[in-house]
Structure 1
Amino acid sequence: MTTSITVNGMQIHVEEHGTGKPLVLLHGGIMASEAFGPNIAALAAGRRVIAIHLQGHGHTPDVDRPLRFETLADDVAGVIRELGLGKADLLGYSFGGGVALQTAIRHPDVVDRLIVVSAAASRNGFYPEVRTAFDHMDTQAAQIGAHVAQSPLGKLYPAVNWETAFRKMGELQSRDYDWMPQVSGIQAPTMLVFADADAITLDHIAGFYKALGGGQRDAGLDGSLRAAARLAIVPGTTHYNLLATTEVARLAGAFLQAQ
């Protein structure tokens, strides 16, 4: 089922699959809900999965507003409220992981459990080469956008202005940010999922998990030192193919069912 919900002056496209407790999915940059591949069906086997197309992505039209993680998080919270979901579980991948983080930070009343997949809590968490690619994205937007317009993704979403999409994404990802102080205040039980060859450094992954209370010594038989947060590293994957199998759905499902 698909629907359009008016939030903050935008007609936000929403796809729904399955029934059960709500799980909101937030896609990566440039792409939309198709980025989750087989994970949507796997998650929808036991959940009401709600895939939101963020501003200027997929079937949600762009508006005269720059991309900012904070305002996108406000959009997500608005959709959750408009749908009357109360507190929903939230899973965001890459760019969508940043939006999910900001949703938990800015709108804790709408987030039950949080899963962040292959996203950084600060710009410096990305490898230098990745940051350099971000910095060049807006200047190469016309060339890259023309190429993507002719690709299967471009054919799937013909209404997207791909040059604008890449320009805005490059401008967003070139801005400096550091949310680590706010991360430590997140109250929602949180799971981090990364590839073992990710775009985010191992040092940042460890620091991110530690900020959530993770990284304690062996909790022992009674589990007294075990943090509410969880960390998963998926072997044999990269930032770009992490969602190609249902491993993320399997990990997320176990975390979401945990007491």
Structure 2
Amino acid sequence: MKPSLLLLHGAIGAATQLQPLAAQLAAHYEVHLPEFPGHGGAPLPEQRFSIALFAEATLQYIRQHKLKEVTIFGYSMGGYVALYLARQYPDLISRVITLGTKFHWDETTAAREVKMLDADIIVQKVPAFADNLARLHAPNDWKTVLQRTAEMLLAMGKDNPLKPDEYKEISTPALIMLGDRDKMVTLEETVVAYRGIPGARMAVLPGTPHPIEQVNISLLTYFLQPAGMLTDV
């Protein structure tokens, strides 16, 4: 029986963005591609978007599918959710791998990120991106997804759900990755997380920007397949 691998997408993203990666890894894992509430056409929840909400949804997915010793790969916000969940349920997850996860949140950081979630500006300046968001989240209104995400980020800026002094409580083996051309996540915040999580490993991917569509899937697959993950992690 193949081991289970859960792929978690990023903020304002959807599981379909990770399908090319899932296809590459299908020979090694039983791959699962859940949607976070309100994303990818999944019903919008009554609750506000939050890391806790997404972690609970992931937990319920794991339990519903009776996954054991699951490896979780989280891209961007998905990595944050994975580590948040691993801190609470260390016996449920065998490994966590993150890529392009933003760990440092304060009010200034949140305000800067929220500026990039202005739906009107997106429509005016990058209409192709707006069209893509509309396709990703249909039948939901993509502007609602952006607004709820903005509210979540502002809340994270006021109270970071996973604080640096809590990294030491994560006992799950972790591989923390960052693209060398990532303009959203800093090397400094990534190193803080890597050094704070006991026994964690770190990798910097060459020629790799933040958007998952621009990541070299073959390179990422190497780190995610069992032989490429440094099995003694």
- Shorter chain as denominator, the TM-score bin is 0.7 to 0.9
- 1:151-170 residue pairs with structure 2 within 5 A? 151-170=131-150
Question: RMSD of the TM alignment (CA)?
Answer: 2.5
Query: Greater share of helix residues, 1 or 2?
Result: 2
Q: Which runs of 5+ in 1 are unaligned?
A: 1-18, 214-227
Report if the CA contact (8 A) 2:98-2:176 is conserved. yes
Report if the CA contact (8 A) 1:149-1:158 is conserved. no
Query: If the length of structure 2 is used for normalisation, what is the TM-score?
Result: 0.85
Q: 1:132 to 1:244 in 2, by over 3 A?
A: farther
1:173 aligns to 2:153 (yes or no):
yes
Stretch moving more, 101-110 or 24-33:
101-110
Q: 1:117 to 1:87 in 2, by over 3 A?
A: same
Q: What do residues 142-191 of structure 1 show as CA deviations (whole Å, max 9, x unaligned)? A: 55479579624423542121111000111112232152122111111100
Q: Percent identity?
A: 26
Determine the structure 2 residue equivalent to 1:192: 176
Q: 2:119 aligns with which of 141, 157, 163?
A: 141
Q: What do residues 2-36 of structure 1 show as CA deviations (whole Å, max 9, x unaligned)? A: xxxxxxxxxxxxxxxxx711111100111212222
Q: 1:40 aligns with which of 17, 22, 34?
A: 22
Instruction: Provide the C-alpha distance between the structure 1 equivalents of 2:141 and 2:129, rounded to a whole number of angstroms.
Output: 8
Report if the CA contact (8 A) 1:53-1:60 is conserved. yes
- 1:6-17 residue pairs with structure 2 within 5 A? none
Task: Pick the structure with greater CA Rg.
Answer: 1
1:83 aligns to 2:65 (yes or no):
yes
Report if the CA contact (8 A) 1:141-1:164 is conserved. no
Give the CA deviation at 1:133: 3.8
Instruction: Provide the C-alpha distance between the structure 2 equivalents of 1:76 and 1:195, rounded to a whole number of angstroms.
Output: 25
- Answer 1 or 2: higher relative contact order, Cα 8 Å, separation at least 6: 2
Determine the structure 2 residue equivalent to 1:52: 34
Give the CA deviation at 1:196: 0.5
Determine the structure 2 residue equivalent to 1:202: 187
Q: 2:75 aligns with which of 83, 87, 93?
A: 93
Instruction: Provide the C-alpha distance between the structure 2 equivalents of 1:131 and 1:150, rounded to a whole number of angstroms.
Output: 21
Q: 1:53 to 1:161 in 2, by over 3 A?
A: same
What number of residue pairs does the alignment pair up? 223
Instruction: Provide the C-alpha distance between the structure 1 equivalents of 2:175 and 2:130, rounded to a whole number of angstroms.
Output: 36
Give the CA deviation at 1:60: 1.3
Instruction: Provide the C-alpha distance between the structure 2 equivalents of 1:182 and 1:108, rounded to a whole number of angstroms.
Output: 14
* Runs of 4+ off more than 4 Å: 145-150
Instruction: Provide the C-alpha distance between the structure 1 equivalents of 2:139 and 2:42, rounded to a whole number of angstroms.
Output: 9
Query: Partner of 1:38: helix, strand, or coil?
Result: helix
1:120 aligns to 2:133 (yes or no):
no
Report if the CA contact (8 A) 1:24-1:89 is conserved. yes
Query: If the length of structure 1 is used for normalisation, what is the TM-score?
Result: 0.77
Give the CA deviation at 1:98: 1.3
Determine the structure 1 residue equivalent to 2:46: 64
